[in-house]
Amino acid sequence: MSKTRLQEEYNKAIRDCDIFVMLFATKVGRYTREEFETAFKQFQESGKPWIYTFFKTAPVNLLDIPEEDFLSLKAFQKMLKELGHFQTIYEDGKDLINQFNRQLEKRDPFDEAVSPPPPL
């Protein structure tokens, strides 16, 4: 049992992390959205965590997805666009790893917003 809801523990971990990765397929749930908002607020305040959003492009049967789930995904993507946040698409696990590696290669590993430089 916790004095706070378990989600608060997740949110604390998000506020303390350097990199925040979100994977999406067919919906964005209430807690997922809260986690993004937590990460984004922390990023605005401190410059971290770096936020990466990846959207899977695998074919899905829209008849199998509840309308509200699909709409939640589209609304979230619209919000990201309005924030100027770039989302990345991926096809499968291998592509996800490649896409993520490409994103990380664009970053300066000695940027103190992520971690201190290595000792000399």
Q: Which residue has the higher pLDDT, 116 or 17?
A: 17
The domain locations on the chain are 6-105
The pLDDT value recorded for residue 109 is 63
pLDDT at 1 over 70: no
Going by DSSP bridges, is the β-strand pair 19-24/50-56 parallel, antiparallel, or unpaired?
Answer: parallel
The mean pLDDT of the chain is 88
Which value, to the nearest 10 degrees, does the dihedral of the CA atoms of residues 83, 86, 87, 91 take? 170
pLDDT tier for residue 2 given thresholds of 50, 70 and 90: low
pTM for the whole thing?
0.82
- Per-residue pLDDT, averaged over 73-79, amounts to 96
